[in-house]
Chain A
Amino acid sequence: EDQVTQSPEALRLQEGESSSLNCSYTVSGLRGLFWYRQDPGKGPEFLFTLYSAGEEKEKERLKATLTKKESFLHITAPKPEDSATYLCAVQANANSGGSNYKLTFGKGTLLTVNP
């Protein structure tokens, strides 16, 4: 069964203090690993998709990386508006016998950036 574990559960940073969020996963053949941002009372907002180990993607202060067992979301010089819950999810590869029709989500990391 596919599993996703995110750590830490909550992270409090000062503005400008860089850090990383972790997403560990087990999946029967990875089709894609997704990062989403979720603000209170809103739906998940797509950030990145990573497809293979070694891949990296960047968007403003965020950079996502992928290995065969985990993904990191690096936040460089965060601002208060980066405060949100960050969700990680995996999609399995049907060719490896996985359930490609769904995303398996972690419980999320609640990031708070103080001014």
Chain B
Amino acid sequence: NAGVTQTPKFQVLKTGQSMTLQCAQDMNHEYMSWYRQDPGMGLRLIHYSVGAGITDQGEVPNGYNVSRSTTEDFPLRLLSAAPSQTSVYFCASSLQVSGNTIYFGEGSWLTVV
């Protein structure tokens, strides 16, 4: 029972580099999302998807891109990494967009130097 799986667990990037954080779920959930967690702040929504082929922006979308080609996968792309993107990133999923339990992955620790 894998749930929500994120890779990599840890990554160090240089400013200006690009990379993709992977997220996969095996629960046939329609809704998937990406949050970032920074010290002293609550988790904040970056992007979300309510189904394959549908994505939308959350609270802090700048510098990030997403796609949803399958129900299972929801990768997060950093286009040109900046030190301000140093954070812990969590992927989450739920059966539907509203009113259902939202499950989180184990997190991806990203440092941009």
Contacts and interface: CB of A to CB of B under 8 A. Distances in A.
Contact of B106 (A43, A101, A106): A43
Interface bracket on A? 20 to 34
Contact of A101 (B43, B97, B103): B97
A102 B97 CA distance: 8
A102 B107 contact: no
B84 interface: no
Contacts of B99: 31-32, 51, 91
B102 interface: yes
Determine the main DSSP class of B at the interface with A: loop
Interface string A67-79: 0000000000000
B107 A43 contact: yes
B102 A103 contact: yes
Contacts of B50: 101
Interface of A: 4, 31-32, 34, 36, 41-46, 49, 51, 87, 89, 91, 93-94, 100-108
Interface of B: 4, 31, 33, 40-45, 48, 50, 56, 58-59, 90, 97-99, 101-107
